[in-house]
C-alpha cells in the first residue's frame, strides 16, 4: 500500500511571517523523496503539514487525489519518525511497537506475530522487553522506524531522523532505510539538512529555502545543474566566479573575470544574461584539471597552490588565481603527481564543465 502526495499552493504563516510560502509539489507513490534545506527553511513545517500536525493557512494537501487538508493525523495513518524518536518511555520496545496495532483492535496473537517480524526486520530481535532508555541511539532509531512501519502506512515521514547519530552508524542506517524502501515500496518523505544524506538516499530532492522550493530533481540533476547560487553552494562545494559578459557566440557566452577571458556554454534553462551584464559562474572543484599547461581545454587560469588537504581517496587543493582562491579535488589513486604547497600550475576546465547561476543572494 502506497500513496502519492500533492501539495497545492500551500502556505503557512505564523503571526504574519510565512514559514512556508505558496509551495506546490508532487510526490509520486512509492518514491523516496527528500526535503533538503538549512534549519529554519520551512522543511519541517512542510513535513508537519503532510503529517497533519500543522494546518496550512492556505492551500490543499492531497493523498492519492483525495483532499486531506482538514484530516487529523490519526485519520491519515502515515507513519512518522520524529526527530529525537519520541518513543514512549513508559512502554517496552514491544509495547511501543504494539501501540498502533492495539489501537486498530488487532488480536493479541496477531500483534505478537507482527511485533516479532518487525523486530527481526530492524535487527532488534530479543530486545522487545527492554525500555527505550536502555537502548543505544541507533537502536532507538530502529525502534522508532519499526513502530512507524508496523501498521503498513501508505507513507512514511522521517524528520531529521539520522542527524543525532554518529557517522558510521548513520551510514549503516542509511543503507537499511534504502533496503526497507526497496522492499516495502512505501512512499518515503525524508527531511534533512545534510546534503550528503540527501544525495545518497533519494530518488528526488526538493531544495527548500526561506519557505519556498527553490529547485527539485534527481540528485544528479541537482548536483550537476544547480540553477542558483544557493543551490550550488548548499549541495556540494562550488567555486563562484563573478564575471562580465563580453560577447555571445551562439549558445556560448564569453565573459571576463580577473582580467582573463573565458567561455561558457549557456543552456536554455540558464538565466538570460546580456552582453555587458555581470554573470555568476559555478564551478565544481572536481571538474577542474590540474596540470602544467592548459592542454587544449576551453578555459584555463594560472595558479599557485596554497593549501593541500589529504582526504584519503583524494586531495583537496586550494590555489590562488587571478579569479581569487579556487578549490580543486584531485583523485589520489591513479598515479597522479602529489600536489604540494607552492606549486605553480594551470587549472583548466571545459566550456561545459561549469554552470551559469542566478545570483539569489
Partner 1 sequence: MIADLDPRTRAVYLVLLVAPLVLLAGLYLYPLSRVLWLSVTVPTPGFGNFERLFTSDAVQRILWTTGKLCVLTTALALLIGYAIAYAAVHLPGWRGELFLFFVLLSFWLSVLVRAFAWLTLLQSRGLVNTALMQLGAIDAPLPLIRNEFGVVLGMVHYMIPYAALPLYANMRGIDPRLVPAARGLGAGPVRAFLRVYLPMSLPGLISAGILTFIFSLGFYVTPALLGGGKTIMIAEYIAVQINDTLNWGLGSMLATTLLLAIFVLLALMAFFVDLRKVFGVK
Which residues contact partner 1 (rule: CB under 8 A)?
51-53, 72-74, 77-80, 82-84, 86-90, 99-100, 103-104, 147-148, 151
For partner 1, the closer of residues 77 and 207 by Cβ is 77
Q: Which is nearer to partner 1, 74 or 166 (CB)?
A: 74
Task: Report the Cα–Cα distance between both ends of the chain, in Å, rounded.
Answer: 42
Number of residues that make up the chain: 361
Min. distance of Cβ 99 from partner 1 in angstroms? 6
CB 135 to partner 1: min, Å: 15
Q: Are 204 and 20 in contact (CB under 8 A)?
A: no
Cell of 57: 493557512
**How many angstroms separate the Cα of 29 from the Cα of each of 26, 135, 154, 220?**
10, 33, 9, 21
Shortest CB 24 distance to partner 1, Å: 24
Task: Report the residue number, 53 or 310, with the smaller CB distance to partner 1.
Answer: 53
Shortest separation between residue 48's beta carbon and partner 1, angstroms: 9
Residue among 187, 179, 184 at smallest CA distance from 154: 187
Looking at the Cβ atoms of 50 and 199, the one nearer to partner 1 is: 50
Q: Which is nearer to partner 1, 91 or 112 (CB)?
A: 91
- Cell numbers representing residue 356 in the block: 551559469
Give 132 or 226: the residue with its C-beta nearer to partner 1: 132
Is 361 buried (19+), middle (13-18) or exposed (0-12) by CB count in 10 A?
A: exposed
- Least distance from partner 1 to the Cβ atom of residue 277, Å: 47
Q: Least distance from C-beta 49 to partner 1, angstroms?
A: 13
Using the minimum distance from each CB to partner 1, give the nearer residue, 131 or 223.
131
Q: How far is CA 24 from the centre of its chain?
A: 18
CA nearest neighbour of 180 among 99, 94, 125, 122? 122
**Shortest distance in whole angstroms from residue 97 CB to partner 1:** 10
Rounded least distance, CB 100 to partner 1, Å: 4
| C-beta neighbour count of 110 within 10 angstroms | 11
> SS in 3 state form for 161-228?
CCCCCCHHHHHHHHHHHHHHHHHHCCEEEEEECCHHHHHHHCCEEEEEECCEEEEEECHHHHHHCCCE
Q: Which is nearer to partner 1, 30 or 73 (CB)?
A: 73
C-beta of 31 vs 76, nearer to partner 1: 76
Pairing of strands 187-192, 155-159: parallel
356 burial via Cβ count (<10 Å: 0-12, 13-18, 19+): buried
**Which of 159/204 has CB closer to partner 1?**
159
Q: How far is the CB of 292 from partner 1 (least distance, A)?
A: 58
Ranges assigned E (strand) in the chain: 5-14, 17-27, 32-36, 58-63, 66-67, 79-81, 155-159, 187-192, 204-209, 212-217, 239-249, 252-257, 260-265, 278-283, 289-291, 299-310, 314-321, 324-331, 344-349, 355-357
Amino acid at each position: 500500500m502506497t500513496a502519492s502526495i500533492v501539495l497545492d499552493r500551500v502556505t503557512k504563516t505564523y503571526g504574519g511571517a510565512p514559514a512556508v510560502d505558496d509551495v506546490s509539489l508532487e510526490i509520486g507513490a512509492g518514491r523516496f523523496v527528500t526535503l533538503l534545506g538549512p534549519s529554519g527553511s520551512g522543511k519541517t513545517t512542510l513535513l508537519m503539514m503532510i503529517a497533519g500536525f500543522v494546518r496550512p493557512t492556505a492551500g490543499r494537501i492531497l493523498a492519492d487525489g483525495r483532499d486531506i487538508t482538514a484530516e487529523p493525523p490519526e485519520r491519515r495513518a502515515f507513519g512518522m519518525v520524529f526527530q529525537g524518536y519520541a518513543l514512549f518511555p513508559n512502554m517496552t520496545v514491544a509495547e511501543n511497537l504494539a501501540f498502533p496495532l492495539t489501537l486498530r483492535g488487532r488480536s493479541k496473537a496477531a500483534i505478537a506475530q507482527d511485533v516479532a517480524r518487525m523486530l527481526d526486520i530492524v535487527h532488534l530481535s530479543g530486545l522487545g522487553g527492554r525500555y527505550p532508555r536502555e537502548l543505544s541511539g541507533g537502536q532507538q532509531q530502529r525502534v522508532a522506524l519499526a513502530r512507524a512501519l508496523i501498521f503498513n502506512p501508505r507513507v512514511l515521514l522521517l524528520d531529521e531522523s539520522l542527524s543525532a547519530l554518529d557517522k558510521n552508524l548513520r551510514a549503516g542506517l542509511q543503507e537499511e532505510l534504502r533496503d526497507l524502501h526497496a522492499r516495502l515500496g512505501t512512499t518515503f518523505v525524508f527531511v534533512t539538512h545534510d546534503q550528503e544524506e540527501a544525495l545518497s538516499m533519494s530518488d528526488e530532492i526538493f531544495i527548500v529555502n526561506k519557505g519556498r522550493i527553490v529547485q527539485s530533481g534527481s540528485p544528479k540533476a541537482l548536483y550537476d545543474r544547480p540553477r542558483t547560487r544557493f543551490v550550488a553552494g548548499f549541495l556540494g562545494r562550488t567555486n563562484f566566479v563573478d564575471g562580465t559578459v563580453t560577447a555571445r557566440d551562439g549558445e556560448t557566452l564569453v565573459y571576463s573575470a580577473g582580467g582573463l577571458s573565458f567561455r561558457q556554454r549557456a543552456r536554455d534553462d540558464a538565466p538570460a544574461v546580456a552582453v555587458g551584464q555581470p554573470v555568476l559562474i559555478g564551478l565544481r572543484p572536481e571538474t577542474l584539471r590540474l596540470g602544467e599547461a592548459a592542454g587544449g581545454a576551453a578555459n584555463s587560469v594560472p595558479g599557485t597552490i596554497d593549501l593541500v588537504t589529504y582526504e584519503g581517496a583524494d586531495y583537496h587543493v586550494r590555489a590562488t588565481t587571478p579569479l581569487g582562491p579556487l578549490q580543486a579535488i584531485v583523485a589520489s589513486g591513479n598515479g597522479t603527481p602529489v600536489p604540494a604547497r607552492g606549486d605553480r600550475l594551470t587549472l583548466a576546465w571545459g566550456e561545459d564543465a561549469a554552470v551559469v547561476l542566478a545570483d539569489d543572494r
